[in-house]
A and B are shown apart, each in its own frame.
Chain A
Amino acid sequence: MTDPTDDEAWVAALRARAADVTPPVPVDVPRALRKGRRRRAVRGAAVGAGALVVAFGVVVGGASLLPNLQGGSSDSSASMVESAADQDAGSDAGSDAAGGAAGAPVPGSSGEAADSSRPTMTPPELVAAVADGTVPPEGVLVEQDAVPADDFLKSIGTTQADDPVVTPPGDWSSLMAACLGRAKWPAEIVLGSGGWEIELTPDEAEAFVPDLRYCAARYQLS
């Protein structure tokens, strides 16, 4: 059994060693800010549209229940709309209020924080998860590197189109993002220098796979 004080001394020496040898890691704060703003903007737009749908449903549902639940339905509508407002990542005031009310920050608890703990998958992993019916109920964040692996098409269950567009590796990512954006995912796709990403609910994941295959089949790496 090792003496605990001996462990403590060794850990102190290890920490000193680590401090001596850890290289500086370059961090681009302005770039993180720009990408964060863009991500927030696209998510805000998507969540805002969702909140409108929820609010519309609440109004319709509330009206139909009005004869029986006159008092209760209005309370429930108010709380649902408040909840939708809390989820609105595009509203600074709403999300500040939500953050304050939530107390300790827990990634993935709701609204804005949800993306932080949402499982990340590559497109091939997404295709496999959709096929297996194992897409997590909280949805996924799909991330694709700027240049696909050699077996990318095979791994997502497709083959090259008959008349593909010959694409330099440096352009593949932006062309894929543009194609997916045109298909039906304009608000969700986020393109960065390292590739593209998209957040999907389980239902969206299923609908996304055919578009992913279609777009991937169109571009042949030169």
Chain B
Amino acid sequence: MTVLVAELEGQARASAAPSDDPDERDGVALRAGRDAEFTAFATTAQGELGRMAWLLTGDVHLAAELVQTALVRTYTAWPRARAGDPMAYARRVLANARIDLWRRRRREVLVAPDDVPTVVGRDDGAAVEHRDELVRALAALSPQQRRVVVLRYLVGLSEREVADDLGVSTGTVKTQASRGLHRLRASMGELPGGSRD
């Protein structure tokens, strides 16, 4: 493997070196352009992907792993991804990776918040409590309901977009969203500003 990686790195170095061959120069320029485009995209998208991954997993480390996987796979398919909506592509990969993780672990992962400060002030304590409550409420949903609820209500996609991202019908999205929302409401109760009464 070391040999393989060294060989690949050697190829990368060789291809990055100046060349007299116009075709080779074009290839290097194309790659550099692609890398710059992808980097700009990833820098912009990382916040939203990170939020989505955290809402799906309830764990910062798992979320970071998921986003990393989504970005690597999006880069691998960059020409195709950029031809449409790269963000939608990355979201879709992230959702697929999430499914894979669930399949692999065979159970939901519910982890206490990672970033609990050592000294918790009154306001910080409320934030941690609210975060924990949200994580637990989302974890109580079925995986499919959680994905639909996160994409539909927390990421703010349309029913059509959620259906496209998850590869299901809009009818399924409507049903899952409605059931998921009611379970979430039952679990979390009223929120400040959450009623028009």
Contact = CB atoms under 8 A, between A and B. Distances in A.
Interface of A: 2-3, 5-7, 9-18, 20-33, 35-43, 89, 92-93, 95-96, 98-100, 102-105, 107, 109, 111-113, 115-117, 119-122, 125, 143, 174, 177-178, 181, 186-187, 189, 191, 194
Contacts of A116: 73-74, 76-77, 89, 92-93, 96
A22 B55 contact: yes
A14 B182 CA distance: 13
A105 B77 contact: yes
A23 B115 contact: yes
Interface stretch (B127-135, B139-147, B168-176): B127-135
A95 B83 CA distance: 11
A28 B68 contact: yes
A11 B149 CA distance: 10
Contacts of A7: 181, 185
B97 to A, nearest CB: 8
A181 B89 CA distance: 31
Contact of A15 (B71, B73, B92, B153): B153
Contacts of A125: 104
B79 A92 contact: yes
B5 A38 contact: yes
A186 B85 CA distance: 34
B22 interface: no
A10 B194 contact: yes
13 contacts: A10-B190, A21-B127, A21-B134, A23-B54, A27-B49, A32-B75, A95-B79, A107-B96, A109-B80, A112-B79, A120-B100, A121-B104, A178-B2
Contact of A103 (B84, B96, B115): B84
B121 interface: no
Contacts of B77: 105, 107, 112-113, 115-116
B43 interface: yes
B51 interface: yes
A23 B53 CA distance: 11
Given A21-B127, A21-B130, A36-B73, 18 more contacts: A6-B195, A9-B194, A10-B191, A12-B193, A14-B154, A17-B191, A21-B131, A23-B113, A27-B64, A27-B68, A39-B76, A92-B34, A104-B83, A105-B84, A113-B80, A116-B93, A143-B104, A181-B1
A112 B196 contact: no
B27 interface: yes
A100 B78 CA distance: 11
Contact of B1 (A22, A40, A119, A191): A191
Nearest to A92: B30
Nearest to B49: A27
Interface in B35-52: 35, 38-39, 42-43, 46, 49-51
Contact of B196 (A9, A42, A103): A9
Given A32-B75, A41-B11, A120-B103, A25 B130 contact: no
Contact of B80 (A6, A32, A98): A98
A25 B42 contact: no
B18 interface: no
